[in-house]
Chains A and B, each alone.
Chain A
């Protein structure tokens, strides 16, 4: 009897603690489908994850986002673009850069800047980005 109550109290602690930790964030629906995005970005920066590994995870995430009816967050498609650039798939890179622009017109000037640079570098022999 007592053991049971203590277990329930422990559960109460856990919920209470979680509420406290999340601070003021009330029950809240996210605007975007995040999937594994930030985790992959960290792996990318830390050089712990190869472009291929990230691409597999993030493209799978795109499917799940579609199923969930939510958009992927800012930068998601652009990050896929850079991953394809690194693995030298220019066609896929362009596809995802365009997707970022279409989803978020705020990125237009920047993506166009990158694409101009890409075209120029193609004429020379430089990097893709």
Chain B
């Protein structure tokens, strides 16, 4: 029993310290403040998310991620155009692949959707790789928010999530904990990558992430974030 060497309460204290350290480093790594000048000038209220371009070998990636983008953006305070309807509109106009959809002019998008901004997502990684005894599901994506009125880039970001998170993290203990939880989640699900894509989406598109998008008009935190001193 490895635990025998610890007095239980000392162990718990140590555990708390390690967890707190993990949380602190997780949230507070903000090296350089993001420049939100353009974002603050634009203050979009609505976001048209285009079906993501998939650069991974898994054909399921686009719609796995696309079906999970509304939650973080809407909860951050934006009107998000209905993803199923948006996809159907492109298809009815003869565009069947995300790369073609991403080529549509900003002017045309503004005309049809009346959106303040458009969000372009590229999926860099999506899927499960098997390495010797373990498997890892990883989803990585980049996003670019463009103002459809001024045609300016308002924000760019990227995020990744993995089922193997923490497996090799320093400290080891935190890693073990996270791994246990993630494995538990995954065991209950047939579709590992889809679950991980949900985490990636939240990290990429939630306003309360470091260097993330700003809160939108429907959020009570609207205009409270993005580097107090502009």
B138 part of interface (Cβ distance < 8 Å): no
Contact A108 B27 (CB under 8 A): no
Central interface residue in A13, A18, A100, by most chain B CB within 10 Å = A13
- Considering only residues 82-129 of chain A, those with a C-beta below 8 Å from chain B are 82, 100, 104, 106-110, 113-114, 127, 129
Assembled-state Cα–Cα distance A79/B3 (Å): 53
Q: Does B206 contact A (CB under 8 A)?
A: yes
The residues of B that contact A45 with a CB separation of less than 8 Å are 63, 66-67, 84, 87
Question: Taking A5-B8, A110-B114 as contacts, is the C-beta distance between A38 and B81 under 8 angstroms?
Answer: no
- Complex Cα gap A21–B23 (Å): 10
Measured between beta carbons, the chain A residues less than 8 angstroms from B202 are 23, 25
- Whether A17 and B79, one on each chain, are in contact in the complex, defined by CB atoms closer than 8 angstroms, is no
B153 within 8 A of A: no
Return the contact of B23 from the options A19, A34, A78 (Cβ within 8 A): A19
Asked whether, in the complex, the Cβ of B114 is within 8 Å of the Cβ of A23, the reply is no
A38 interface neighbour in B68, B181, B206, Cβ under 8 Å: B68
> B36 in the interface, Cβ–Cβ < 8 Å?
no
Check: B89 CB closer than 8 A to any chain A CB.
Answer: yes
A122 CB → nearest B CB, Å: 15
A75 touches B81 (CB 8 A): yes
Neighbouring A residues of B67 by C-beta, 8 Å: 38, 41-42, 44-45
A6 to B26, CA, bound (A): 27
A42 to B182, CA, bound (A): 21
Residues of B with C-beta under 8 A to A37: 70
Q: Does A74 make an interface contact (CB < 8 A)?
A: yes
Q: Is the CB of B68 within 8 A of A129?
A: no
A42 x B64 contact (CB < 8 A): yes
Residue with the highest number of chain A CB atoms closer than 10 Å, among B27, B60, B83, B203: B83
Binary B-proximity of A3-38 (CB < 8 A = 1, otherwise 0)? 001100100111011111101110000111010011
Contact (Cβ within 8 A) B113 A109: yes
A46 close to chain B: CB less than 8 A: yes
- Contact B70 A75, beta carbon cutoff 8 Å: yes
Asked if A75 meets B80 with Cβ closer than 8 Å, knowing A23-B209, A34-B71, the reply is yes
Contact with A along B192-215 (1 / 0, CB 8 A): 001000010011001011100000
- Bound state CA distance, A102 and B110, in angstroms? 20
CB neighbours (8 Å) of B181 from chain A are: 13-14, 17-18, 20-21
- Chain B residues with CB below 8 A from A110, complex form: 81, 85, 112-115
Known contacts: A12-B12, A17-B180, A25-B206. The answer to whether A75 contacts B92 by CB under 8 A is no
Assess A42 versus B194: contact at CB under 8 Å? Given A75-B85, A110-B81.
yes
The 4 closest A-B pairs by CB, nearest first: A109-B114, A17-B181, A75-B82, A78-B82
20 new A-B contacts at CB < 8 Å, known A9-B8, A42-B68, A113-B114: A12-B15, A14-B180, A17-B180, A18-B181, A23-B27, A25-B202, A25-B206, A30-B75, A31-B219, A41-B70, A41-B84, A42-B63, A46-B60, A79-B85, A106-B45, A106-B115, A109-B113, A109-B114, A110-B81, A129-B85
